[in-house]
Amino acid sequence: MSRSQKAYNKIRLLAKENDWSLEKQETYEKILIDLEEIQPTDQTLRVTYQHVWGYFKKLATIEEKQRYLDMIDQSNLLDSQLESFLKELSVKYNQEYLLQMRWFIEDYE
Protein backbone atom coordinates (compact mmCIF):
# COMPACT_ATOMS: atom_id res chain seq x y z
CA MET A 1 0.00 0.00 0.00
CA SER A 2 2.81 2.42 0.82
CA ARG A 3 4.27 1.96 -2.65
CA SER A 4 1.13 1.70 -4.80
CA GLN A 5 -2.56 1.78 -3.96
CA LYS A 6 -3.26 0.18 -7.33
CA ALA A 7 -1.02 -2.81 -6.52
CA TYR A 8 -2.55 -3.08 -3.05
CA ASN A 9 -6.01 -3.29 -4.61
CA LYS A 10 -4.83 -5.98 -7.05
CA ILE A 11 -3.49 -8.03 -4.14
CA ARG A 12 -6.76 -7.60 -2.24
CA LEU A 13 -8.67 -8.94 -5.24
CA LEU A 14 -6.31 -11.90 -5.52
CA ALA A 15 -6.91 -12.81 -1.88
CA LYS A 16 -10.66 -12.31 -2.06
CA GLU A 17 -12.69 -15.31 -0.88
CA ASN A 18 -9.53 -17.22 0.16
CA ASP A 19 -9.46 -18.99 -3.21
CA TRP A 20 -5.67 -19.15 -3.70
CA SER A 21 -4.09 -20.92 -6.65
CA LEU A 22 -0.67 -21.33 -8.23
CA GLU A 23 -1.64 -18.76 -10.85
CA LYS A 24 -2.60 -16.26 -8.15
CA GLN A 25 0.65 -16.95 -6.32
CA GLU A 26 2.64 -16.21 -9.47
CA THR A 27 0.69 -12.99 -10.04
CA TYR A 28 1.24 -11.99 -6.41
CA GLU A 29 4.99 -12.61 -6.64
CA LYS A 30 5.19 -10.55 -9.85
CA ILE A 31 3.38 -7.67 -8.18
CA LEU A 32 5.84 -7.78 -5.26
CA ILE A 33 8.83 -7.77 -7.61
CA ASP A 34 7.39 -4.80 -9.49
CA LEU A 35 6.76 -2.96 -6.23
CA GLU A 36 10.42 -3.21 -5.25
CA GLU A 37 11.12 -0.70 -8.04
CA ILE A 38 8.70 1.86 -6.58
CA GLN A 39 9.74 4.05 -3.67
CA PRO A 40 7.13 5.21 -1.16
CA THR A 41 6.31 8.90 -1.15
CA ASP A 42 5.16 11.11 1.68
CA GLN A 43 1.63 10.96 0.27
CA THR A 44 1.48 7.16 -0.12
CA LEU A 45 2.97 6.69 3.34
CA ARG A 46 0.43 9.10 4.84
CA VAL A 47 -2.46 7.10 3.35
CA THR A 48 -0.91 3.83 4.52
CA TYR A 49 -0.29 5.07 8.06
CA GLN A 50 -3.82 6.46 8.29
CA HIS A 51 -5.14 3.06 7.19
CA VAL A 52 -3.04 1.24 9.79
CA TRP A 53 -4.00 3.77 12.48
CA GLY A 54 -7.63 2.78 11.93
CA TYR A 55 -6.89 -0.50 13.70
CA PHE A 56 -5.96 1.38 16.89
CA LYS A 57 -8.01 4.56 16.97
CA LYS A 58 -10.61 3.08 19.32
CA LEU A 59 -8.05 1.16 21.41
CA ALA A 60 -5.25 3.69 21.82
CA THR A 61 -4.73 5.73 24.94
CA ILE A 62 -5.08 9.51 24.83
CA GLU A 63 -1.28 9.77 24.88
CA GLU A 64 -0.94 7.34 21.97
CA LYS A 65 -3.56 9.25 19.98
CA GLN A 66 -1.73 12.52 20.58
CA ARG A 67 1.62 10.98 19.67
CA TYR A 68 0.14 9.63 16.42
CA LEU A 69 -1.41 13.00 15.53
CA ASP A 70 1.86 14.81 16.24
CA MET A 71 3.84 12.35 14.16
CA ILE A 72 1.47 12.25 11.18
CA ASP A 73 1.34 16.07 11.09
CA GLN A 74 4.91 17.02 11.91
CA SER A 75 7.35 14.26 11.13
CA ASN A 76 9.09 13.38 7.91
CA LEU A 77 7.12 10.28 6.97
CA LEU A 78 10.01 8.93 4.94
CA ASP A 79 11.93 8.29 8.16
CA SER A 80 10.68 5.29 10.08
CA GLN A 81 9.55 6.81 13.40
CA LEU A 82 5.83 6.63 12.73
CA GLU A 83 6.15 3.20 11.15
CA SER A 84 8.00 1.95 14.25
CA PHE A 85 5.34 3.44 16.52
CA LEU A 86 2.54 1.73 14.57
CA LYS A 87 4.43 -1.57 14.71
CA GLU A 88 4.71 -1.19 18.50
CA LEU A 89 0.95 -0.65 18.68
CA SER A 90 0.40 -3.71 16.47
CA VAL A 91 2.18 -5.82 19.05
CA LYS A 92 0.66 -4.08 22.07
CA TYR A 93 -2.90 -4.47 20.80
CA ASN A 94 -2.22 -7.85 19.16
CA GLN A 95 -3.59 -6.89 15.76
CA GLU A 96 -3.17 -10.23 13.97
CA TYR A 97 -3.84 -8.87 10.49
CA LEU A 98 -1.11 -6.26 10.86
CA LEU A 99 1.30 -8.67 12.51
CA GLN A 100 1.07 -10.93 9.47
CA MET A 101 1.61 -8.15 6.94
CA ARG A 102 4.78 -8.04 4.90
CA TRP A 103 5.80 -4.60 6.27
CA PHE A 104 5.79 -6.05 9.77
CA ILE A 105 7.33 -9.44 9.07
CA GLU A 106 10.28 -8.03 7.10
CA ASP A 107 11.65 -6.46 10.29
CA TYR A 108 11.95 -9.87 11.91
CA GLU A 109 13.41 -11.94 9.08
Mean pLDDT of the 34-53 span: 88
Task: Write down the pLDDT at residue 109.
Answer: 43
Local structure of 80: helix, strand or coil: coil
CB 89 within 8 A of CB 64: yes
Residues 68 and 88 in one domain: yes
Residues 47 and 66 in one domain: yes
Domain count, the chain: 2
Residues 28 and 55 in one domain: no
Task: Write down the pLDDT at residue 107.
Answer: 52
Q: Which residues contact 86 (CB under 8 A, 6 or more apart)?
A: 49, 52, 53, 56, 98
Span 86-97, pLDDT tens digits:
999 999 999 998
Domain residue limits at 68: 42-108
What is this structure's pTM?
0.74
Residues 77 and 61 in one domain: yes
Residues 90 and 47 in one domain: yes
Residues 21 and 64 in one domain: no
Residues 29 and 46 in one domain: no
